[in-house]
Amino acid sequence: MENKQSFFSALKDEVVRGLSPSRSRSKSPARTASPISGLLRRKKHNPDSSVARSASLRPLGETLTPLIEGPDPDATENGDPKRIGSGLGNWMKGQLSRAPSVSYKRSDLRLLLGVMGAPLAPVHVCATDPLPHLSIKDTPIETSSAQYILQQYLAASGGLKLQNSIRNAYAMGKVKMVASEFETATKVVKNRNASRCAESGGFVLWQMNPDMWYVELVVGGSKVHAGCNGKLVWRHTPWLGAHTAKGPVRPLRRALQGIDPRTTASMFADARCIGEKNINGEDCFILKLCTDPETLKARSEGPAEIIRHVLFGYFSQKTGLLVHIEDSHLTRIQSNGGDAVYWETTINSFLGDYKPVEGIMIAHSGHSVVTLFRFGEMAMSHTKTKMEEAWTIEEVAFNVPGLSVDCFIPPADLRTGSVSEACELPQDERGKNSSAVHRAKVVALEKSHNCSIDNMIWKMEI
């Protein structure tokens, strides 16, 4: 019992030093230091507080190495960083400080981070809203079946009562990204050295009720971070700077990949059961969710119109857990008097390695296959780009003491003009001409940011 108490005391002490998202952002001239550190220090000796963390990590009694979410300007060779050792935090620090790999095209890395870095869920949901009660009378069979499947999912994930007790959550993991294939009407170019060309990195995710989240992802020496304060969603990339996301507040899709069962259940609350399918040898029920026209219109901008966005969830009939997510949306870019160009983005995510963290089942690994399919104009002008991402979850913690809303404040240099998802699509010369109005806003943002990679090309080079 004494060992367990000393373990949690050490864990809280590490939370003070490294886990707060305000640590890496408080040095910014546009942001003042968060009072979270003081709050945590006042709480670290409280024996009644506890932090839930993944049981698959370190032995009982071993201290948790602090997480450095970016280069620490206070670090010295003779100072405290020596005690970080070879932990994941020190590894992520190295990822930030190193230059992008010379063997990997910067345009490819930009495309990977733009599409897979911090995508959002299709619709707005609030994890604190009550889920619909199971109803059979006067309810279509597709709807009542979906409600029953969600009830089983919540039970398998740890139960609604336990999940409603979570006020905030933290997760940290590793990722690998690679552009594995590029296809045109006449040839297919595969990345034969995908394992060597894959860019490694890591991410940190914080969440807090209601509807607040913050994520940092570092891959290939470049960092993408995004957040939501409950009222607006913003994102910061090296090539666009900080900007608000077009459309309503939506959860981070990465959280739906087995990390946040409560938000996942809320996302599929209005879904329909459309059948069954075998996924990797496991029979699953399929729930389908379609984005409403109002949300699609709010997310569209200028000549870039989002026509549809559909989310499919595959829930295991054996375990009740979510094992596969298919996310597909179609964007039309209409030129002035010319033919329209269509972009279909499909993200297939496979979830696995479920382990309990304080009674809540968390998927500790998975991989995604992303396909960008461009068609329209001439029949033989289509292109298809295939990208892949694999991730593992290294640490999970719930109800972190002292986490405050100050950690989710948007950057002070946030630009008022919102940008839609279409700005991350690779553009060739035809695409630039057909979306001149939309690209003008993006180019203006790039010039105002004045970063070192403003001149990176958008098209996939082969």
CA-wise closest residue to 175 among 200, 139, 143: 200
CA-wise closest residue to 178 among 104, 237, 118: 104
Model-level pTM? 0.75
Per-residue pLDDT of the chain (462 residues; tens, 9 = 90+): 555 455 445 544 554 455 556 544 544 434 444 333 343 343 444 444 444 444 444 444 444 444 444 334 344 333 333 333 344 455 445 544 544 443 345 567 888 999 999 999 999 998 777 887 777 777 788 989 999 999 999 999 999 999 999 999 999 999 999 998 898 878 888 887 777 788 999 999 999 999 999 999 999 889 999 999 999 999 998 888 899 999 999 999 999 999 999 999 999 999 999 999 999 999 999 999 999 999 999 999 888 899 999 999 999 999 999 999 999 999 999 877 778 899 999 999 999 999 999 999 999 999 999 999 999 877 677 899 999 999 999 999 999 998 999 999 999 888 766 777 777 777 553 344 434 444 444 444 444 444 333 332 333 332
From residue 233, alpha-carbon distances to 249, 267, 416 in Å are: 6, 17, 12
From residue 9, alpha-carbon distances to 48, 64, 141, 357 in Å are: 10, 11, 51, 18
Taking a C-beta distance cutoff of 8 angstroms, is the pair 444, 97 a contact?
no
Taking a C-beta distance cutoff of 8 angstroms, is the pair 288, 312 a contact?
yes
Q: Give the per-residue pLDDT at 381.
A: 78
Q: Give the per-residue pLDDT at 105.
A: 57
